[in-house]
Amino acid sequence: MWITFFSGGFGPPFFCAKSLAARPPLCYTNRKMLYIVVTPIGNLGDITYRAVETLKSADLILCEDTRHSAVLFARYGITAPVRAYEKFSESRQADAIADMIESGKNVALVSDAGTPVISDPGSVLVRRLRERGLEYTVVGSGCAAVSALVLSGFDASSFCFVGFLPDKEGDRNRLMDRFAGLRSTLLFYVPPHDAVRDAAFLFSRLGARKACLVREISKLHEDVIDFTLPDIPADAVLKGEMVLVVEGAPDPAEALLALDVKEHFARYVAGGMTEKEAMKAVARDRGVSKSAVYAELKGSRS
C-alpha cells in the first residue's frame, strides 16, 4: 500500500530530536527549543492537549498568519506573544529565530492548519537548526511518516509514502521498480530487526543516497539518525517504532554531468539521438561549445 503526496506546562517529561548524527539523551520540557505544533485542519476541537499546553507555555509563537491563528488561540486561552512567520520571508528570519532558541527561548511554530513544513513555513528553519545543532520536535501529529519527514529536515515539497518493504526479495524488487526513479523523498516503515537489511537492500536499488532513521517519535527516546545508505551508524539504537526517510532520485541532468564526456555522449546515442544531436545535447548540458565536446571525444578515441 502506498500514497504519493505532491506539493505542498507541557505534561510529563519527554525527549526530542536534536539535529546531530550522534544524539545523546535529549531535552526535557524545561529545555528551550523549537516546537513544531500541529493544529486542526478543520474542527478546532481536534487539537491535542499537549499542543495546547505547548502553545500556552511558549515564549514566542511563530504563525503563518497571526489573524488566522488568533481564532484558535482565543478558543483555548493561548496568550503567548506571536510573530508572523511566512514562507516567503523564512530565509530572512531563520537565523534570528535560531539565535533566540540558542539564547534560551522556547519557540513554537504553527501554520494556518495542519503540519508546518508540509507545503507551509518551517523547512528553512528546521535546516538552520540542524546546521547549528539546536533542538526541535513535533507536537500533536498523528502520522509517524509525516512527523519523520518533518524531523528529518529532508525536502518536503514532494514525498512518497512506501510503507513496509515486502519480505520476499522478488516482491521487494517489483515494489522498488515503481519508486527508484522518483525525485520525491521516500518514506519507509522499518521494523527494528530489519533496519540493517532494509538499508542494504535500498542501497542496492537506490545507491548511496542520504537517509535518516527517525525512531520513537514524541516518546522518551525520540531520535533522528543521519547517515548515507547503507551505513547505519554502528552505535545507533535500533529499537522501537522507526521510519526511514531517503532522499529522492537525483536530477537526471546532474546524473549525466557526473559522467565523463564520452559516457555522457554514449548515453544520448543509446537513447536514440544521432551523433550530431548527442554532441549538441552534451555541449548544452555542460555549457561548452560543440567543438570542445568534439575535441574531447576525438581525444578519447585516439
Domain boundary pick from 217, 246, 275: 246
Q: What is the CATH number of the domain that holds 34?
A: 3.30.950.10
Task: Please indicate, yes or no, whether residues 188 and 293 belong to a single structural domain of this protein.
Answer: no
For residues 256 and 117, state if they share a domain.
no
Residues 236-253: tens digit of each pLDDT: 999 999 999 999 998 777
- On whether both 234 and 293 belong to a single domain, the answer is no
Q: What is the pLDDT of residue 6?
A: 39
Residues 222 and 270 in one domain: no
- Domain with 240 in it: 3-246
- Per the structure, how many domains does the chain have? 2
227 and 97, same domain (yes or no): yes
Same domain for 297 and 203, yes or no, is no
- Measured CA to CA, the distance from residue 108 to residue 114 in angstroms comes to 14
Is residue 144 located within the same domain as residue 56?
A: yes
Is residue 171 over pLDDT 80? Answer: yes
Q: 104 and 16 in one domain? A: yes
Identify which has the larger pLDDT, 160 or 22. 160
On whether both 47 and 118 belong to a single domain, the answer is yes
C-alpha cell at 122: 518551517
The pLDDT of 6-33, averaged and rounded, is 45
Region 247-269: mean pLDDT is 81
Do 219 and 264 fall within a single domain?
no
Residue 62 has pLDDT above 80, yes or no: yes
Out of 224, 246, 268, pick the residue that ends a domain: 246
Q: What is the pLDDT of residue 88?
A: 84
**Lowest model confidence (mean pLDDT) among 21-35, 56-70, 137-151, 191-205:** 21-35
What is residue 217's predicted lDDT score, i.e. its pLDDT?
A: 94
Q: Is the pLDDT of residue 29 over 80?
A: no
Q: Last residue of a domain, which of 230, 246, 262?
A: 246
Q: Both 63 and 138 in a single domain?
A: yes
- Please state, rounded to an integer, the average pLDDT across all residues of the chain: 86
At residue 31, the pLDDT reads 64
Question: What are the pLDDT digits (tens) for 83-136?
Answer: 999 888 888 899 999 999 999 999 999 999 999 999 888 999 999 999 999 999
Same domain, 121 and 96: yes
